[in-house]
Amino acid sequence: MKPEHVVAIALRLFAIALSLSIVSNFTGSAWYYIISGGSNAGFSLLVILFTILLAVLAFLLWRFPFWIASKLLKFDDSMNRPSSWGSLDEVQTVAFTVMGVYFLFQAVTGTIYWLALFTTGFPIAPEPQQWASMLMTIAEFLLACFLIFGAAGLGALISKVRRLGTN
């Protein structure tokens, strides 16, 4: 596998993580806007513009990973030499597993936060944003389990979908 392939896979993984971060941060900002009664129009416009910019960046990273990878790497003889990297399927499996561990870390820290909040003994009535955050923690845990335990199958699915257009 060439170095640009590894960088392209990393760019796609970053695009996925960036997209999830955009959704999470935008929902929190929208909730803040609703609670404030719409009095922060300048801040809201800034959040919307920044969200659009990040969404465009995530789309470009997802759609053109090889072109971006070729621009990030130097053009020297190392691009033409065979590398000691594993196969594409092995690298994808490792990458999905690493991404799954990251989401598992996020889910575990979120779970610790919510358990600590609810076991303090104080009566707490969660607000809608807190419910959404709890659901996001559950979704991160499910995504982590899928990525960790289904990394090889996900890589095979991607390879199968990629080959559909070539037959």
Furthest C-alpha separation in the chain: 65
Mean predicted confidence (pLDDT) in 13-21: 84
Per-residue pLDDT tens over the stretch 56-65: 988 998 999 8
Helix (H, G, I), strand (E, B) or coil at 91: helix
DSSP one-letter string for 14-40: HHHHHHHHHHHHHHHHHHHHHHTTT--
Query: What global pTM score does this model have?
Result: 0.50
Per-residue model confidence as pLDDT tens digits over 97-120: 778 777 887 888 888 878 877 776
Q: Residue 59 and residue 16: Cα distance in Å, rounded? A: 9
- Each residue of 119-166: pLDDT tens digit? 766 667 888 888 888 899 999 999 888 887 877 777 777 777 777 766
